[in-house]
Amino acid sequence: MKKTGYYGEWGGAFIPEVLYETFEELNAAFTQVKKDPSFWQEYVSLMSTYSCRPTPLTFAENLSDHFGGARIFIKREDLNHTGAHKANNVMGQGLLVKKMGKKRVIAETGAGQHGVATATMAAKFGLECTIYMGEEDVMRQRPNVFWMEKLGATVVPVTSGSKTLKDAINEAFRDWVTRMEDTHYVMGTVCGPHPFPEMVAWFQSIIGKEARTQIMEQFGKLPSRVYACVGGGSNAMGVFQGFLDEKTVELIGVEAGGKGLDSGQHAARLAGKDASAGVAQGYKTMFLQNDDGQMMDTHSVAAGLDYVGVSPILTDLWKSGRVRFAAATDREVMEALDLTMKKEGIIPALESTHAFVQAFKEAGDMNRDEALIINMSGRGDKDIFTIAHAFDDPSWKAFITQKGAEYAS
């Protein structure tokens, strides 16, 4: 018999006993709305009036001609309110919280993007909101902290441990245990204990549903390949679900290769060799950890991909061979970002650009009567300082300038 909340051997719900009842309540509420078509209708209507859905599917004609192979289409999740696909998840959970009658939401955030999205949702729905954030991250992500507070949220700097994301996760769970009756924990991605992976994947499936309809309208047939970057895996699961049942459509997840897969400074769980199976943060997946189960320090130029775990759903799809995994290095990301800006007038987030890197490597070898879709999870405005710094770095400047000349010719 299939155990609930498992994808193959991955997933589950490893939670403290005090949370059993809260999880049962959440499971019941989610199960009910999932089979109620009017809830999905309400969700779609909210997203079309508050967050620009359906987001466009853009034909990238210049990039397609540049590589001379597959026709490249970009799914524009950057045009969501707050600038990324995260809006889909938080607004969906907001509707669910309203149904459950809870008055307060909490979340943890690393780079701050999920914190801003959650604070936005809380303002819209009239909920009290507390965001846990490592003290290190509070200092590094000043603009996001500013907006969370202006949106009415309380930001709690976490000073324990390494003062980053994993400590913030522990602190948020501690809060939840003390205030379960009126509080919902807004999980940011398709990770954590069941039912979070299933729930977040369900809300994000709106991306794939739209993309499938749009590519049929614009191209007349299914794409050969669909690319998405993978942090926790929510934007990838979102777009992949539109094509999972079509065996002719290849699905490619792209992780953070950081300074290279052999450098020890990356966040490639499934594309690299450094991860192993483990249970942490309430679920079982492949974690970047040492032999003692101690989590490793990860690195990526894109803060949103810098995470030790990965969705149990994706780990299962990787094991079964349905989803192929690749990694893009920081340097490859800057190069692809430069090309995309110059050719299409589009500024993808550094996270999203990882998917562009792999698509660019493969597009030229595909036929002109094939299409590929890149899921552009978010916009790059937030990355302005990182991008400016990278393009100013003397060792990269020569590299980018030389590439610029190549693109112009």
- Whole-number minimum distance, CB 237 to ligand PLP, in Å? 8
Q: How far is the CB of 405 from ligand PLP (least distance, A)?
A: 30
Among 193, 195, 208, 232, binds ligand PLP (CB under 6 A): 232
Give the span between the Cα atoms of 148 and 51, in whole angstroms: 18
Contact with ligand PLP (CB under 6 A) among 87, 145, 158, 229: 229
Name the minimum Å distance from CB 86 to ligand PLP.
6
CB nearer to ligand PLP: pick between 113 and 205: 113
CB 5 within 8 A of CB 186: no
By CB under 6 A, is residue 375 in contact with ligand PLP? no
Rounded CA Rg of the chain = 20
Work out how close the CB of 381 gets to ligand PLP at its nearest, in angstroms, rounded to a whole number.
11
256, two tokens: 């953070």
353 binds ligand PLP (CB under 6 A): no
Residue 192 touching ligand PLP (CB under 6 A): no
Interface region with ligand PLP, contact rule CB under 6 A, candidates 62-70, 97-105, 274-282, 345-353: 345-353
Which residue is closest to ligand PLP by CB? 378
Q: Cα–Cα–Cα angle for 344, 352, 48, nearest 5°?
A: 80
Binders of ligand PLP among residues 128 to 187 (CB under 6 A) are none
- Least Å distance, CB 354 to ligand PLP, is 8
Closest to ligand PLP by CB, 12 vs 348, is 348
Distance CA 344, CA 144 (A): 28
Question: Interface with ligand PLP includes 118 (CB under 6 A)?
Answer: no
Residue 66 sits in the site that holds ligand PLP (CB under 6 A): no
Report in angstroms how near the CB of residue 232 gets to ligand PLP at its nearest: 4
Q: Nearest 5 degrees, angle CA 329-CA 109-CA 244? A: 60
Per-residue binding letters, 94-113, with ligand PLP (x by CB under 6 A): -------------------x
Active site residues: 86, 108, 377
Pick the closer one to ligand PLP by CB: 74 or 366: 74
Q: Considering only residues 120, 144, 234, 300, which one is a binding residue for ligand PLP as defined by CB under 6 A?
A: 234
Q: Which of 195, 231, 257, 258 binds ligand PLP (CB under 6 A)?
A: 231
Please say which residue, 82 or 130, places its beta carbon nearer to ligand PLP. 82
Stretch that binds ligand PLP, among 55-63, 146-154, 226-234, 356-364 (CB under 6 A): 226-234
Q: How far apart are CA 387 and CA 381, in angstroms?
A: 10
Q: Which residues pair with 276 in a beta bridge?
A: 287
Residue 111 token pair:
């780079």
Which residues, numbered 274-313, are part of the site for ligand PLP (CB under 6 A)?
304-305
Residue 64 binding ligand PLP, by CB under 6 A: no
Query: At a CB cut-off of 8 Å and minimum separation 6, what does 280 contact?
Result: 287, 289, 293, 295, 308, 309
358 interacts with ligand PLP by CB under 6 A: no
Task: Give the contact letters, 320-339, x = binds to ligand PLP (CB under 6 A), - = no.
Answer: --------------------
Residues that bind ligand PLP (CB under 6 A): 84, 86, 113, 189, 229-235, 304-305, 349, 351-352, 377-378
